Structure 1
């Protein structure tokens, strides 16, 4: 099948009012597809779901160990954080450790998704800065690698040594030559691949073990840092954080803009990649929760699972008007 398939339904009363379609792939450690929906060869931007791949050169180069990076910093390098204090304080400390500051970032300012942090800025009359950008941890990783490589300040340029290293790692773990790239929301390049390529890369991260080679060691360290610090990967109210905590075994999850999501299941050595074609985050969260239930690592009755798997559709007065549900074919 080459067309997207129905993945998530929006019910109002007894009727399906809206429907989200998409593609999804589950790969094993050999890179083979074990299950798929829609078109595994669909070319996609993985967006922020690729951050752990972009962080591989940070460890492989020796930069992470040279700077004594902690598991918290490795988790932040893979994060799309909410700019809560637990995130921004750590980003500022990382920059200070490098002898750098907020102007050295190239991600651009962003209003915090964390409500208390946003409200504190408003009360103080301050504008958001680049530290509040959800990708500032990834960019601290880029800056750390850049210092190690001795590159110029504009590390987000496509021909910069940092981005050349990221592209090489990306093509190697997806096992595909990238057909192109676009500019991500944080101004860094985001490389195209297929759903199968991303699922294959995530299966590599799932099967990786420290001591099995430089790349496998790097992948295992990044994956385990994400699992150890789910609150740093996203934020307290976010799907990545809550679903990682809810899973019955260690699982790394990472959302990407425009309806992308990945899952890394180390005990089962499986990788998952999914894309909702209309880019709806409500659908990608429901779909990834459904696949986690399908794979037996998430109890559908867990409060966090229910929050994303079957969130209610409410009226403005809080009346139960309907429900978001994964399509039957996904469960």
Structure 2
């Protein structure tokens, strides 16, 4: 096993206070490694970074077309959203159009990360519901696929036809037989793979001509939807939304819990996957921004890149005390 290098650093004053180690790999759709840091064979849970793969059966089965889903629905199916009105309202309408209710979701309630939505709930004395769950769009997609397949309501069951279709798509795209699964925060199974396998899947999404039939059209539609609707994929102030918008249509990026981050690069026909060993989002965001700069998709001084690659650390009196920085090895030739 290759030891994980430092991918992000935390400085306080002139002292390096903390380090975040991790693994990253850039690959082609055929599995050729372009660059690597650490161990591409590391077994991981992709967590929410795999939502594009989980959404493939929704489109390629014909369920999306049969229910007249549009680009914004596709983006929400890939989203880890903030629970703002722009997220919850279209998911509610989507479920209603299926003849279903919020209670048919199986993702669980979540306090929204969006401050206005959170404050509104508090002011109304209303508890959050499952629509506020950051995965509610993905679960609306699962409900749509399950209804299309004539399957039962417990679509999170790993043996359910919905999850069987998800696993088949996941294994085909990663080129690996998943050794197992863990239960994600939204209660859906999350299938494991190697870091390289995840990057290969992203490279295939970036190179739809490498795919066949309905899979090709599904991959292309999902990537285009993410790029067209970056705020639906995450929300205001989020790295996914800001980095995609800053790349101007040249990349689709997606975070996952526990320090996972992926990128789909159609212009380069490449995929990126990275994993921070200690699971910190601050480090995965810094590393992904640096890799986008490395590949020429972002200027180093672009505000969206700077906010992640050299994030200021402020104290409670709003005094600058240090920075969270991407490691220079991700930027140097």
TM-score normalised according to structure 1 size: 0.98
Distance change in 2, residues 1:2/1:89 (3 Å): same
Match of 2:326 in 1: 326
Match of 1:298 in 2: 298
Note if contact 2:204-2:210 (Cα within 8 Å) is conserved in structure 1: no
**Residues 55-204 of structure 1 aligned to structure 2 (within 5 Å):** 55-204=55-204
Which consecutive unaligned segments of at least 5 residues does structure 1 have? none
1:198 Cα deviation from its structure 2 partner: 0.3
Is 320-329 or 224-233 further displaced after alignment?
A: 320-329
Note if contact 1:255-1:261 (Cα within 8 Å) is conserved in structure 2: yes
Match of 1:277 in 2: 277
Match of 2:51 in 1: 51
Question: How far, CA to CA, are the matches of 1:211 and 1:284 in structure 2?
Answer: 29
Match of 1:308 in 2: 308
**Residues 230-269 of structure 1 aligned to structure 2 (within 5 Å):** 230-269=230-269
Match of 2:215 in 1: 215
Residue 311 of structure 1 aligns to a residue whose secondary structure is: strand
1:209 Cα deviation from its structure 2 partner: 4.6
Which consecutive unaligned segments of at least 5 residues does structure 2 have? none
Question: How far, CA to CA, are the matches of 1:326 and 1:3 in structure 2?
Answer: 18
Question: How far, CA to CA, are the matches of 2:315 and 2:143 in structure 1?
Answer: 46
Question: How far, CA to CA, are the matches of 1:248 and 1:232 in structure 2?
Answer: 16
Q: How many residue pairs are counted as aligned between the two chains? A: 331
Question: How far, CA to CA, are the matches of 2:58 and 2:246 in structure 1?
Answer: 29
Is 202-211 or 65-74 further displaced after alignment?
A: 202-211
Question: How far, CA to CA, are the matches of 1:249 and 1:111 in structure 2?
Answer: 31
Question: How far, CA to CA, are the matches of 1:249 and 1:291 in structure 2?
Answer: 16
Note if contact 2:204-2:211 (Cα within 8 Å) is conserved in structure 1: no
Note if contact 1:247-1:299 (Cα within 8 Å) is conserved in structure 2: no
1:29 Cα deviation from its structure 2 partner: 2.7
Distance change in 2, residues 1:249/1:56 (3 Å): closer
Residue 34 of structure 1 aligns to a residue whose secondary structure is: strand
Residue 272 of structure 2 aligns to a residue whose secondary structure is: strand
Is 126-135 or 206-215 further displaced after alignment?
A: 206-215
1:215 Cα deviation from its structure 2 partner: 0.8
**Structure 1 stretches (4+) deviating beyond 6 angstroms?**
none
Note if contact 1:262-1:272 (Cα within 8 Å) is conserved in structure 2: yes
Question: How far, CA to CA, are the matches of 1:95 and 1:249 in structure 2?
Answer: 29
Match of 1:32 in 2: 32
Residue 284 of structure 2 aligns to a residue whose secondary structure is: helix
